Structure 1
Amino acid sequence: MKMIFAIVRKEDEGFVIERLNKEKISVTKLSSTGGFLRKGNATLMIGTEDEQVDTVLQIIKEECSRRQEVMMNPAYSAGTKGPVMGYAAPPVTIEVGGATVFIVNVEQFIKL
C-alpha cells in the first residue's frame, strides 16, 4: 500500500478529486499555501494499493497540466509597503499548474 501526497493548485483540486472519486479512489484534501506566487494550494492525501499508483499519477498529470497564465503585477516603489497607485508594471507571463507528488510506503493501514 502507498500514501500519495499531491500538492496541486487550488484551481485544479476539484478536477483531480472528481476523477479520483470516479475511479473509486478515496482522497482527503488539506488546504495549504506556499510556493513562488503564494497562491492557494491543496495537499491531497491519497491512500491506495500499489497497483493503482500509476492510475492516480495519470489522473494528477492530466488534471494539473502546466499552462501559461498572464499575471498583472502592481508596481512597487522602494520604501513603500504597498503598490503605487496609478502606475502598473507590465504584465508577466508565467507557467502555472503541475503538481508536486510524494509517494511513501504504508507499513500499516487501519480503518476504525
Structure 2
Amino acid sequence: MKLLIAIVNNDDAYRVNTNLIKMGFVATKIASTGGFLMNGNSTFLIGIKDEDVEQVTDIIAHYSKKRVVPTPTDPVYNPASAGALPAEVTVGGAHIFVMDVESYKRV
C-alpha cells in the first residue's frame, strides 16, 4: 500500500478531485498555502494499492496544468523594478510524493 500526497493549485483541485472520484479513488483534501506567490493550494492525501500509483499520478498530472501568470514586481524588495512590467511566474502543475505505508487500520 502507498500513501500519495499531492499538492495541487486550487484552480485545478476541483477537476483533480472529481476525476479521482470518477475513477474510484477517495482522497482527503486539505487547504494549504505556499510557493513563490503564496497562493492557495489543495493537498490531497490518497491511500492506494501499489499497482494504482501510475493511474493516480496520471490523473493528477492530466488535470494539474502549468500556466504562466503575470505578477507585479514589488519596489520595496527591488527598488530598480519600480514602474517595471510585471514579471511572469509559472504556476500550477503538481508536486506528488509517494510513500510506503507500513500499517493501515480503519477503526
Q: TM-score, normalised by structure 1?
A: 0.83
User: What is the Cα deviation at residue 108 of structure 1?
Assistant: 1.5
Measured after TM superposition, the shift of residue 75 of structure 1 is: 4.6
Q: Secondary structure at the match of 1:24?
A: coil
2:61 matched to which residue of 1?
A: 61
Which one-letter code corresponds to 1:6 in the other structure? A
Q: Give the distance between the partners of 1:11 and 1:22, measured in 2 at CA.
A: 19
The answer to whether the 8 Å contact 1:75/1:88 transfers is: no
Q: How does 1:1-112 map to 2 (within 5 A)?
A: 1-71=1-71, 73=72, 75-77=74-76, 89-112=84-107
Q: Segments of 4+ in structure 1 off by > 4 A?
A: none
| Structure (1/2) with the larger strand percentage | 1
Cα distance in structure 2, aligned partners of 1:74 and 1:35 = 16
TM-score normalised per structure 2? 0.86
Distance 1:74 1:45 in 2: 34
Unaligned 5+ residue runs, structure 2?
Answer: none
Cα 1:88–1:6, aligned 2, differ >3 Å: closer, same or farther? same
1:31-90 deviation line (CA, Å, top 9, x unaligned)? 11111111111111010011111111001111112122222x165347xxxxxxxx7541
How many matched pairs? 103
Residue of structure 2 equivalent to 1:84: none
